[in-house]
Amino acid sequence: MGADLHAHSTASDGVLSPAELVRAAAAVGLTALALTDHDSTAGVAEAAAAAAQAGLRLVPGVELSTDAIGREVHILGYFCAGRAPLEELLAEMRAARRRRLEQMVERLRAAGLPVALERVLALAGAGAPGRAHVARALVEAGCAASVEEAFDRYLLPGRPGYVPRRKLHPGEAVRAVIAAGGVAVLAHPGLVGDDGVLPELLAAGLGGIEVHYPAHTAAQVAHYARLAEELGLIATGGSDFHGRGERWGDLGSVTVPAAVVDRLEEAAARAR
Ligand code: MN
Ligand code: MN
Ligand code: MN
């Protein structure tokens, strides 16, 4: 059935644990699966152990959220999990996220709103705490009727609880993946909607582009397949599975041949 090179577990916003995800991948007949949690490699060890049991090839990965001018750009990093330059970057991003959360709560409290950091962290559970959890805490405290209203009144730019995010630039993410001995791939370029980001990524050493993706139209697949060919990039693909019935694709609904995994691994080896 091939390789699904884009999937999330409970290490970010997926529904299945890393081991459950791997078993589900084997059950639908995948021969390879990439675990690509948002800004975290915490699930890779568990997934690798489960994959060894299930006889499935696990591709260690991560999906980095970055900000280009006015757009969110996601960079997939393969074969770089657990290597220092990447893990240092992830740790720095986690620390920045935590500082931002503390500052948001401080500002809201200074404005007289009864929101507690402990409650925000509890609402986030094992996931990465963020603005949405602050909003939920504000709703709980009776400061807003809905999460949307909490954002509108307190958490958007210009509002009392707003604190800007530490931004990671796309080129910085690509360079961190390569410095960690991995290969960097532009995720769902059709969702970015603007190929203007490509020159910077290519200059930083981009190795691939996610051609096959649930939300890509046939025209977009053809366009990005041609770009990959022209630019010498590896054409990858995956379902962006988050859980059955969740939005994005079902596990194994988008696959690429196993040879693509070999090409990624070779590209990563050349970077070392
Ligand atoms: Mn997600
Ligand atoms: Mn994404
Ligand atoms: Mn994703």
pLDDT in tens, 136-146: 999 999 999 99
Residue 125 has pLDDT above 90, yes or no: no
Q: How far is the CA of 74 from the centre of ligand 2 (A)?
A: 5
Torsion sign over Cα 228, 232, 233, 237: positive
DSSP string, the chain: --EE--B--TTTT-SS-HHHHHHHHHHTT-SEEEE--BT--TTHHHHHHHHHHHT-EEEEEEEEEEEETTEEEEEEEES-TT-HHHHHHHHHHHHHHHHHHHHHHHHHHHTT----HHHHHHHHTTS---HHHHHHHHHHTTS-SSHHHHIIIIISTTSTT--PPPP--HHHHHHHHHHTT-EEEE--HHHH--GGGHHHHHHHT--EEEEE-TT--HHHHHHHHHHHHHHT-EEEE---B-STTSSSPPTTSS-B-HHHHHHHHHHHHHH-
With bands split at pLDDT 50, 70 and 90, how would you rate the model's confidence at 165?
Answer: confident
Q: What rounded mean pLDDT belongs to the chain? A: 95
Tell if the pTM clears 0.85, that is, is over it.
Answer: yes
The pLDDT, as a whole number, for residue 129 is 83
Q: Near ion ligand 3, which residues have CB within 5 Å? A: 63, 240
Q: Which ligand is nearest to the CA of 240?
A: 3
Question: Ligand 2 mean position to 141 CA, how many Å?
Answer: 32
Rounded to the nearest angstrom, the distance between the alpha carbon of 74 and the centre of ligand 3 is: 8
Q: What residues pack around ion ligand 1 (CB closer than 5 A)?
A: 13
Q: pLDDT digits over 170-226, tens only?
A: 999 999 999 999 999 999 999 998 899 999 999 999 999 999 999 999 999 999 999
Ligand 2 centroid from CA 207, angstroms: 17
Question: Average pLDDT in the 57-65 region?
Answer: 97
Distance CA 217, CA 25 (A): 25
